[in-house]
């Protein structure tokens, strides 16, 4: 089984490691120009941004070519899931990627500028992370067919906010220097947008 992941604060990397030992960083794959993968199972793991799939993951999937009988996707989030599972399914359909299983898992919200990590850790037992991870792993090992559903209203909000706040012009307004951590920028944007929508 191959797991392709994108992580910012480490949650998605933790999930990727928990589900398998053969995992690859999506930004590194893009840099190396590697888009062809073949295995019995292939998984995509990523954090939810802008209520959906991060742009870097979408751009990767637009070029990816998978040969597998079982393709799955796992989206991680700390507070708000949005409509990422529907978004991932749409991206897959557009690129000839047939997902057998798409699910999401709530994790510790460890974006430090916004949240107190000690308070977030106190919430960990309620989130039942390990229990949910074990269930997802069991689903994948058993090749369960399942797509987590989201309402069309939630998906509509994702599309509207994406067009308003995350179009090509939005990206062009930023420059990246050596002191910038791109993962922090993406995660910060996700949380600022969430609080705008509340």
Mean of pLDDT values over 121-133: 67
pLDDT (0 to 100) of residue 8: 84
pLDDT (0 to 100) of residue 80: 73
Closest CA to 78 of 121, 46, 112, 110: 110
Are 69 and 101 in contact by the 8 Å Cβ rule? The answer is no
pLDDT (0 to 100) of residue 178: 53
DSSP label of 21? S
How far apart, in whole angstroms, are the C-alpha atoms of residue 179 and residue 152?
A: 40
pLDDT (0 to 100) of residue 101: 98
Alpha helices, DSSP H, located in the chain: 11-19, 26-32, 55-63, 84-94, 117-122, 124-127, 129-141, 152-165, 168-172, 182-197
Neighbours of 46 (CB within 10 A): 27
Q: How many Cα atoms sit within 13 Å of 79 on the Cβ side?
A: 17
pLDDT (0 to 100) of residue 82: 81
pLDDT class for 69, splitting at 50, 70, 90?
A: very high
55: phi then psi, degrees, rounded to nearest 5: -55, -40
Domain ranges of the chain: 2-197
What's the CATH superfamily of 2-197?
Flavodoxin domain (3.40.50.360)
Radius of gyration (Cα) for the chain, nearest Å? 16
Q: 4-8, 50-54, 121-125, 132-136: lowest mean pLDDT where?
A: 121-125
pLDDT class for 195, splitting at 50, 70, 90?
A: very low
Task: Please state, rounded to an integer, the average pLDDT across all residues of the chain.
Answer: 78
Q: How many residues does the chain have?
A: 198
User: Phi/psi class of residue 176: alpha, beta or left (left: φ > 0; alpha: ψ in -120 to 50)?
Assistant: beta
Q: What is the dihedral of CA 101, 104, 110, 115, to 10 degrees?
A: 160
pTM of the predicted structure, to 2 decimals: 0.73
Mean of pLDDT values over 33-61: 95
How far apart, in whole angstroms, are the C-alpha atoms of residue 112 and residue 182?
A: 15
């Amino acid at each position: 089984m191959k797991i392709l992941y994108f992580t910012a604060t480490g949650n998605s990397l933790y999930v990727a490691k928990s589900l398998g030992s053969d995992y690859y960083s999506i930004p590194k794959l893009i840099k190396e120009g590697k888009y062809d993968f073949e295995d019995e199972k292939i998984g995509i793991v990523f954090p939810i941004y802008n209520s959906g799939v991060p742009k870097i993951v979408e751009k990767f999937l637009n070029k990816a070519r998978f040969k597998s009988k079982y393709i799955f996707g796992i989206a991680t989030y700390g507070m708000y899931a949005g409509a990422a599972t529907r978004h991932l399914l749409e991206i897959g359909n557009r690129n000839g990627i047939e997902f057998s299983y798409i699910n999401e898992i709530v994790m510790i919200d460890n974006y430090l500028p916004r949240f107190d990590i000690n308070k977030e850790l106190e919430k960990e037992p309620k989130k039942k992370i390990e229990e949910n991870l074990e269930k997802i792993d069991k689903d994948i090992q058993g090749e369960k067919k399942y797509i987590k559903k989201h309402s069309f209203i939630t998906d509509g909000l994702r599309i509207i906010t994406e067009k308003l706040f995350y179009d090509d012009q939005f990206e062009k307004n930023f420059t990246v220097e050596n002191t910038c951590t791109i993962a922090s920028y993406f995660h910060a944007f996700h949380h600022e947008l969430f609080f705008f929508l509340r």
